[in-house]
Copies of this chain bind each other. A is one copy, B any other.
Amino acid sequence: MPTTTSQFLNGVPELLVLRLLRDKEMYGYELVEAIRAASNDNLSFAEGVIYPVLHSLERDGALSTRRQTVNGRSRVYYSVTPTGKDRFNDLLAHWQQLQSTIATIVKAPHHA
């Protein structure tokens, strides 16, 4: 019973989190907005989705954190570790593989 990702599906929030944090460190609340913005409002994961993802990625050593107080509000900045970069590459390869497999099947003229 591995703690790892499901065999095929999902993992989209995780993928996006790693992708955006790879560009620059961000704090959770900022990330939620960033995903919405980067997707032109097509995708919107609530805080209740993103925070648990951040925590589990940190537990796995894929993210490192830095705490900072700005305007009296405490922020937790996340950045991607080398482990996290590997994880992202794996997830991306996996996603692209799935995506291309599905595209092929869907577009095929006819199936025996």
Indicate the member of A15, A20, A101, A104 with the most B CB atoms within 10 Å. A101
Is B95 a contact partner of A19 (Cβ separation < 8 A)?
no
Is A102 a contact partner of B24 (Cβ separation < 8 A)?
no
Interface string of A73-98 (1 = CB under 8 A from B): 00000000000000000001001011
Is B12 a contact partner of A102 (Cβ separation < 8 A)?
yes
Question: Could you tell me which residues of chain A, from 1 to 59, have a CB within 8 Å of some CB in chain B?
Answer: 8-10, 12, 15-16, 19-20, 23-24, 34, 37-40, 42-43
Given contacts A16-B102, A105-B19, contact A43 B111 (CB under 8 A): no
Is A108 a contact partner of B38 (Cβ separation < 8 A)?
yes
Q: Please give, as numbers and ranges, the residues of chain B lying within 8 Å of A110 by CB-CB distance.
A: 23
- Shortest C-beta distance, A79 to chain B (Å), equals 14
- Shortest C-beta distance, A10 to chain B (Å), equals 5
- The reply to whether the CB of A106 lies closer than 8 angstroms to some CB of chain B is yes
